[in-house]
Amino acid sequence: MKNKWIKSIATGFGLGLSPVMPGTAGTLWGIPISWAVMLLPSCGYQIGVCAALTLLAIPVCGAAEKLLGKGKDPGCIVADEYLTLPICYLGLPFVPWVIFSGFILHRIFDITKPPPIRQLQSLKGGLGIVIDDFLAALFALAVNHLLFRVIVPMIG
């Protein structure tokens, strides 16, 4: 029963099994999770929950990697994507364009893996699976803040 739950959580309750863009499909679970996190009363609580979600992803993804036996970081494991997505919105209002930009930026940085993301992905186990998504979320957060605090006020 425990193994079934690990596989289910790790594969985003099946979204990670999508034949087309499983990482992007699995990241969709991060939107309602992000909304719930952003309802918390302070940025401090939000950061704490984001840290807890990221730390939860490490053993879940590591265990699923072993259970699935499909090599290092199989594409069907998407808990790393959806559990780090809320980081993209820290300190920002949860409005449609911010949601969209955070989602897209997270996917872009996760897929392209600019330095140092690519180098850290070589770590083994759950940490190696999650670290690239964690850093992608931090990069997305920085760009989202730049958009919200600098670009949007300049144009409107």
pLDDT above 80 (res 27): yes
Give the pLDDT band of residue 149 (cuts 50, 70, 90).
confident
Model confidence at 54, pLDDT cuts 50, 70, 90, reads: very high
> Taking 70 as the threshold, does the pLDDT of residue 28 lie above it?
yes
Q: Is pLDDT above 80 for 53? A: yes
Instruction: Show Cβ contacts of residue 149 under 8 Å, excluding neighbours closer than 6 positions.
Output: none
Query: What is residue 15's predicted lDDT score, i.e. its pLDDT?
Result: 95
CB-hemisphere CA count at 13 Å for 153? 5
Cβ atoms of 86 and 49 within 8 Å: the answer is: yes
pLDDT band at 134 (very low <50, low <70, confident <90, very high): very high
Percent of the chain beyond pLDDT 70? 96
Q: What is the pLDDT of residue 117?
A: 87
Instruction: Judge whether 138 and 85 are in contact, CB under 8 Å.
Output: no
Give the start-to-end residue ranges of the domains of the chain.
2-155
Chain mean position to CA 156? 30
Long-range CB contacts (< 8 A, 24+ apart) of 51-58? 53/83, 53/84, 53/86, 54/83, 54/84, 54/87, 54/130, 54/134, 56/83, 57/83, 57/84, 57/126, 57/129, 57/130, 57/133, 58/125, 58/126, 58/127, 58/129, 58/130
Taking only the tens place, the pLDDT of each residue in 60-116 is 999 999 999 876 788 899 999 999 999 999 999 888 999 999 999 999 999 999 998
